[in-house]
Chain A
Amino acid sequence: MVERTSAHLDAVFHALSDATRRAMLSQLSSGPRSVGELAAPFSMTFAGASKHVKVLESAGLVRREVQGRTHVCRLDAARLSEADAWLRHYERFWTTKLDKLEELLIADADRQKPGKGSAQ
């Protein structure tokens, strides 16, 4: 598990780097869809859509079940949630830092006000 996580994250980001696949995930976030349904908005062949689904599957973002002749896809949110949590951690880190920088710059500007305006 430990050594697989990093490879998994690479797979997740690779899967998400494509706009078609992101749109497919959006569709799946409102419920399961067949591969045909996922293909429809892109006027894409079954084979084309299936290729994208395969990338999503190997990243652990989607599970595919074969029901008779239909392939039903479901979102598996756990992996996405991990990747998201990781990014948000960084986002918070920098947001907090920039808040602090802003505070400092404002305090500094106030201190300089009686003088001759903004510094270089």
Chain B
Amino acid sequence: MNADAKPAIVVVRRFDASPERVFDAWLDPQIARQWLFSTPDGEMVRAETDARVGGRFTFTERRDGEDIEHVGEYLVVDRPSRLVFTFAVPKYSTEYDRVTVEIRRLDKGCELTLTNEMSPEIYREWGERTRSGWTMLLDGLAALLGDEKRA
């Protein structure tokens, strides 16, 4: 086990769509603007991606008259199986998370595994705002940390 493993969450989801369609949905600005960093009440005012290794993205959403920018850089772009990017919301934090999207082809559709490794710095800022007792779920937490998945 890696001693400085970062806190991470893993979300797995199956889709009926092909791996290519699911992969492209992350990078095609016309599709990504509809779901990726959008919220129900916001208005996406800018969605730009430079979908290559070292390329950057910007998604700006207007929420209550305020522009919230989501930025990051693509680290791995391997269509249709693997996408890795950094991600930050500069308004809230200068720290970057790292998101890995892995897509595995199934007989019908595909399975997507998303891993979000977080910078503990973000926790400091976030934690201060929401310091209240949410329910403790030890098993859930252990599963989320999932070192057995990494091996």
Q: Which residues of A contact B (CB under 8 A)?
A: 2-3, 5-6, 9-10, 13-14, 16-19, 22, 25-26, 29, 77-78, 80-91, 94-95, 97-98, 100-106, 108-109, 118-120
Contacts and interface: CB of A to CB of B under 8 A. Distances in A.
B104 to A, nearest CB: 15
Main secondary structure of the interface of A (DSSP, over half): helix
B140 A84 contact: yes
A17 B1 contact: yes
Given A5-B128, A81-B134, A82-B127, 15 more contacts: A6-B120, A9-B124, A13-B120, A17-B147, A81-B135, A83-B141, A84-B134, A90-B116, A98-B112, A100-B35, A100-B38, A104-B35, A109-B17, A118-B18, A120-B20
Given A19-B147, A26-B138, A80-B138, A104 B120 contact: no
Contact of A13 (B7, B16, B128): B7
A113 to B, nearest CB: 12
**A-B pairs with lowest CB-CB distance, top 8:** A85-B134, A100-B35, A6-B124, A81-B136, A105-B17, A9-B120, A94-B11, A91-B9
A5 B20 CA distance: 41
B131 interface: yes
Interface residues of B, number: 50
B3 A14 contact: yes
Given A84-B134, A87-B141, A9 B123 contact: yes
A104 B25 contact: yes
Given A6-B120, A101-B25, A120-B20, A86 B3 contact: no
Interface of B: 1-7, 9, 11, 13, 15-18, 20-22, 25, 31, 34-36, 38, 112, 114, 116, 118, 120-121, 123-124, 126-128, 130-142, 144-145, 147
